[in-house]
Amino acid sequence: MNLEMQQFKAEFFKALAHPLRIRILEVLSEGDFGVNEIQNAIGSEGSTVSQQLMVLRTKNIVVGTKNGNRVIYSLRDPLIIDLLVVAKQIFNNHLVDTINILDKIVDQEEDTIEEE
* Structure confidence by residue, pLDDT tens digits, 91-100: 888 887 788 7
- Distance (Å, whole) CA 114 – CA 26: 48
H-assigned helices in the chain: 3-16, 19-28, 35-42, 46-58, 79-115
Instruction: Taking residues 85-90, report their average pLDDT.
Output: 91
**How do the domains of the chain map onto residue ranges?**
1-76, 78-116
To which H or E segment does residue 43 belong?
A: none
Q: What is the pLDDT at residue 100?
A: 79
- Distance (Å, whole) CA 83 – CA 92: 14
Model confidence at 113: pLDDT above 80:
no
pTM to 2 decimals? 0.78
- Distance (Å, whole) CA 90 – CA 95: 9
Which CATH topology does 1-76 take? Answer: Arc Repressor Mutant, subunit A (1.10.10)
pLDDT band at 105 (very low <50, low <70, confident <90, very high): confident
CB 42, CB 27: distance < 8 Å:
yes
pLDDT band at 31 (very low <50, low <70, confident <90, very high): very high
Instruction: Taking residues 81-107, report their average pLDDT.
Output: 85
The DSSP letter of residue 77 is: -
pLDDT band at 116 (very low <50, low <70, confident <90, very high): low
